Structure 1
Amino acid sequence: MKANPIVWFEIYVADMTRARTFYEAVLQITLEPTENRAEDWPDMWMFPGEETASGACGALVKMDGVSPGGGGTLVYFSCDDCAEQASRVQAHGGQVIREKFAIGPYGFIALAADTEGNMIGLHSMD
């Protein structure tokens, strides 16, 4: 395998409006609904991204039979300074699990729980 192994991620949610509001406010982005969905397609809102850029694209997903929550895969969002995004978490219904801390030559991370109980990571080099 020559490329980065992750090509897509999904963060499962119970309340799409609440989850969208959280991620758009904390990351200061706009999520977009998926287009041309089949009738039985789950409710999906995609994070902004470029197919030819490095990193993975993904979406918030509300799907019958799939529950959100911690204890599984951890998705890290790239930030200029992860302390900035972490400072917006609590005001938008989430919980900061661990404030910004150094991870050696790999930069810094902060850990948070979103409004659905999913653990997320925030990463920056500064």
Structure 2
Amino acid sequence: MKNVINWFNLPSIDFDRAIEFYSTVLEIQMFRMPSPDGFENAFFSNPQDGGVSGAIGSNPQQKPSTEGTTIYFDVNGRIDEVLGLVPGSGGQIIMPKTNIGEFGNIALIMDTEGNIVGLHSAV
């Protein structure tokens, strides 16, 4: 089955701070690029590589929120390590590592911008 989700956007208040947070916590290199709305995006992965992709947006009309949809990042067996990086990077752990049975573990964090995002690990 093809993914029904193919894109997500996380709004930011301080674009550079948000990039630093996710680059550090997820241990990834983000790709900055202008967006069609005249602002800037920082991509979590190259959208041309296929699969689900997303970005941090710099549009001030879009506001971070603790309410609404929650996206989950696959942290591939590194949930404890990632949670250990969150507080020192300016984020907060909202829900600690929680076992969800045969599906692995999840946790919820608040990023530096005020967005609540999830972490998932199958192990």
Q: TM-score, normalised by structure 1?
A: 0.88
**1:100: how far off?**
0.7
Percent of aligned positions that are identical: 35
Structure 1 runs of 4+ off > 3 angstroms?
Answer: 49-54
What does 1:1-80 correspond to in 2, within 5 Å? 2-34=1-33, 37-38=35-36, 40-49=37-46, 51=48, 53-54=50-51, 56-79=52-75, 80=77
Change (3 A) 1:52 1:17: closer
- Measure the CA separation in 1 of the matches of 2:6 and 2:57: 16
Of 80, 84, 90, the match for 1:83:
80
| Alpha-carbon distance, 1:125 to partner | 1.1
CA contact (8 A) 1:95 1:114 kept: yes
Structure 2 unmatched runs, 5+: none
CA shift, 1:83, in A, is: 1.6
Q: How many residues align?
A: 122
Q: Structure 2 length as normaliser, TM-score?
A: 0.90
Paired residue type of 2:104: G
1:101 aligns with 2:98: yes
Could you list the runs of 5+ residues in structure 1 that have no partner in the other structure?
A: none
Partner of 1:122: 119
State the secondary structure of the residue aligned to 1:73: coil
User: How far off is 1:64 after superposition?
Assistant: 2.9
